[in-house]
A = this chain, B = another copy of it.
Amino acid sequence: MRTTDMPLIRRSRLFAQVGEPDLAAMLTACFVQTLPDGAVLCRQGEKAEFLHVVLSGRVGLFGEAARDEALVEFLGPGDAFIVPAVVLDVPYLLTARLLDEGRILMWPAAAFRAQVRATGQLAYGAVLLLSGYWRTLIGQIKDLKLLSAIERLSAFLLALAPRDTGPVTVTLPGGRRLVAGRLGITPQSLSRAFAALRPLGVSGGGREVVIADPARLREFAGVRALKNT
């Protein structure tokens, strides 16, 4: 573990409430790995061996079916996964794959389970982290059930931008193929959705997307001011 990792570890909600000495003690059981783009951290259906905390790089969580797979969520530095599988000691529901080269904190499952049961601050951190995830997942389910593909793309782009801003450039968290999976559509449909938003001031080039008028886009997305409320 490098000394430069500590600030990254502290940034995670999971550890926000844990005191310095306790944290140091906990981390003796852990190690950090630098892994290449495409590395698989855990595979759907396998038993949880480690809790992973992303220190740098981005990770994609994928659900796999017969001949298909769909990206469920993007994760970045500070995110921990898969807390639920580790805590409950059951198999993973998802496959996690690095989308970049990245550094990952590895925490043996049994040690983490014991710690979270013993240390109130860590459990509280886990509650905060899981609460945040619960909300993003609920948001995604609502989007899938209530919104069209174009509206979902609008909402997704707006969520990448700061609130109440003028023209902005946002950076997609992955290639178009991955974004399409996150939105629950095919890459082709995503391409068409971007085309449909172009008259509304969304001009895309590669991974950078310019939103000329966020207010107009927000209005179009259906009166969705309640989105993150």
Contacts and interface: CB of A to CB of B under 8 A. Distances in A.
Interface of A: 17, 44-45, 63-66, 68-70, 72, 83-85, 87-88, 90-94, 116-120, 123-124, 126-128, 130-135, 137-142, 144-147, 181, 184, 222-224, 226, 228-229
B91 A138 contact: no
A70 to B, nearest CB: 4
Nearest to A91: B229
Contact of A127 (B94, B127, B145): B127
- Copy number in the complex reads 2
Contact of A84 (B91, B135, B146): B135
A125 to B, nearest CB: 9
Contacts of A126: 123, 127
Contacts of A222: 65-66
Contact of A128 (B70, B85, B88, B124): B88
B128 A127 contact: no
Contacts of A223: 66
A92 B130 CA distance: 15
B226 A44 contact: yes
Given A17-B117, A123-B127, 14 more contacts: A63-B141, A63-B142, A65-B142, A66-B222, A72-B138, A84-B131, A85-B135, A93-B138, A94-B138, A123-B126, A127-B127, A140-B141, A141-B144, A145-B184
Contacts of A70: 142, 145-146
Nearest to A69: B146
Contacts of A84: 130-132, 134-135
Nearest to A72: B141
Nearest to A133: B134
B123 A226 contact: no
Given A93-B229, A134-B133, A184 B144 contact: yes
